A and B are shown apart, each in its own frame.
Chain A
């Protein structure tokens, strides 16, 4: 049976890895290639690497870093940051990356998703929605590291991504980023009935229990986390960690009813 994916999310800035809180206050956490090597050893389900400067500064993705990451990674890799054209996405896929994550370019022109699906295939396109909760208007979508608001509701964009042929949606809670106060389960519940393609939630995970809450609420989904896998303790000491296969197995068994008695 298909298992939920537990996905470390790494943020790139100036060729180093950082971790943010609510999209600011970044802390250096180490060298990306070294982190990939450690995650290889820990048998990670997949890796998500996002360059948080490329789109903001309007620069090209750093192909040499991407190539080194792809060469090193023995698990599936998704790259996001600075991708604006089909050519860029194609080049990244050719470097050995499985999926490209795109936010601002597809929110400004959703047709790009269709053009991308004709060349790299729909399965390799991840549409990213950075969401922030507003008191009166529900969840709103942002680009440029949470600085610019985009028109259209969360549900509108989920439907649009699916209609134009994205292969996956990454829903990233700006409010929960780095806060380690659990996934926004209200957000998870709200989106659940509209989702027809794979989805990954990011933002807020502080423990395996939080991941358990997410899969109990949603079912088989991607469970991405940054801080959980790079920090240890309340002083946020940098230490890369990841659950073992047995721990993941038991989590799924205990939290998703259709898996009970399966293994």
Chain B
């Protein structure tokens, strides 16, 4: 059973729907008791970093989440701001991150050479992968995924990067450190590619 953390931020129902379409059992995790029978977790996120961290910290879900991810090695996937929350901190806010993957989140550059790029980076972009990971099985990397963000995760260790995209600069759009994954793009809104990716996560 996949548990989608329901802490008042992000698109819980879109994730549940995507899993439902592929026959993967999934439920919302809104209180600590809901962690029961959950074997993998999704941390969705939209909005601003501090507001999302604050809501998670005050949701009553945080302690058990730390325990499951750090002690029990429960697979966790953070999406968009949820990915940024996996690190130590973000230059978008002042609160501490979850610290599950070593790294920080920084704003994307606005300029390349003489061209000023608009931010947020919004729309469909392709993904290149430095090495094979089962998560990418059956994914059309050229069609890529839907992005909507101005900040990106900078992992301390480059081997945490499992996918890159290029906008004003090359950035990590997918990261992994043992049981913890992060995606910058929105798989829950990336049509068949996104649903396939979520199904792959459910299978790991």
Interface string of B20-57 (1 = CB under 8 A from A): 00000000000000000000000000111001000000
Interface contact A71-B46, CB-CB below 8 Å: no
Q: Nearest chain A CB to B193's CB is how many angstroms away?
A: 9
Interface contact B189-A4, CB-CB below 8 Å: no
Q: Which of B11, B48, B148, B167 contacts A96 (CB 8 A)?
A: B11
Interface contact A71-B126, CB-CB below 8 Å: no
Which residues of chain A have C-beta atoms less than 8 A from B60's C-beta? none
Interface contact B14-A96, CB-CB below 8 Å: yes
- CB-based nearest B residue for A245: B143
Interface contact B119-A43, CB-CB below 8 Å: no
Given A45-B123, A123-B149, A245-B143, A71 contacting B13 (CB threshold 8 A): yes
How many angstroms from the CA of A121 to the CA of B46 in the assembled complex?
7
Which residues of chain B have C-beta atoms less than 8 A from A198's C-beta? 118, 120, 122-123
How many angstroms from the CA of A199 to the CA of B123 in the assembled complex?
11
Asked if A46 is at the interface (CB within 8 A of a chain B CB), the reply is yes
How many angstroms from the CA of A5 to the CA of B148 in the assembled complex?
12
How many angstroms from the CA of A31 to the CA of B8 in the assembled complex?
30
How many angstroms from the CA of A121 to the CA of B150 in the assembled complex?
10
Interface string of A67-109 (1 = CB under 8 A from B): 1001111111100000000000000011110110000000000
How many angstroms from the CA of A177 to the CA of B166 in the assembled complex?
35
| Residue of B13, B81, B120, B191 with highest tally of chain A CB at under 10 A | B191
How many angstroms from the CA of A118 to the CA of B57 in the assembled complex?
18
Q: Nearest chain B CB to A210's CB is how many angstroms away?
A: 19
Given A1-B166, A43-B191, A71-B13, A98 contacting B51 (CB threshold 8 A): no
Interface contact A118-B51, CB-CB below 8 Å: yes
Q: Nearest chain B CB to A79's CB is how many angstroms away?
A: 13
> In B125-155, which residues have CB < 8 Å from any A CB?
125-126, 142-143, 146-150
> In A19-59, which residues have CB < 8 Å from any B CB?
40, 43, 45-46
Asked if B76 is at the interface (CB within 8 A of a chain A CB), the reply is no
Q: Nearest chain A CB to B100's CB is how many angstroms away?
A: 22
Asked if B194 is at the interface (CB within 8 A of a chain A CB), the reply is yes
Interface string of A113-135 (1 = CB under 8 A from B): 00001111111100000000000
How many angstroms from the CA of A98 to the CA of B116 in the assembled complex?
25
Asked if B195 is at the interface (CB within 8 A of a chain A CB), the reply is yes
Interface contact A197-B118, CB-CB below 8 Å: yes
Interface string of B171-193 (1 = CB under 8 A from A): 00000000000000010011110
> In A191-237, which residues have CB < 8 Å from any B CB?
195-199, 220, 222
Which residues of chain B have C-beta atoms less than 8 A from A117's C-beta? 48
How many angstroms from the CA of A169 to the CA of B192 in the assembled complex?
28
Asked if A61 is at the interface (CB within 8 A of a chain B CB), the reply is no
Q: Which of B14, B120, B191, B194 contacts A167 (CB 8 A)?
A: B120
- CB-based nearest B residue for A94: B8
How many angstroms from the CA of A19 to the CA of B152 in the assembled complex?
39
10 more CB-based (< 8 A) A-B contacts, given A1-B125, A121-B81, A123-B122? A2-B121, A2-B167, A3-B123, A70-B13, A72-B17, A93-B46, A98-B186, A119-B51, A124-B47, A263-B142
- Chain A to chain B contacts (Cβ below 8 Å), 21 pairs: A1-B125, A2-B121, A2-B147, A67-B13, A70-B14, A71-B13, A74-B18, A75-B191, A76-B186, A96-B12, A99-B148, A118-B48, A118-B51, A121-B46, A123-B46, A123-B149, A123-B150, A124-B47, A168-B122, A197-B118, A198-B123
Binding site for B on A (CB under 8 A): 1-5, 40, 43, 45-46, 67, 70-77, 93-96, 98-99, 117-124, 167-168, 195-199, 220, 222, 245, 263
The 6 A-B pairs with the shortest beta carbon distances in the complex, nearest first, are: A121-B47, A96-B11, A123-B120, A76-B189, A5-B123, A198-B122
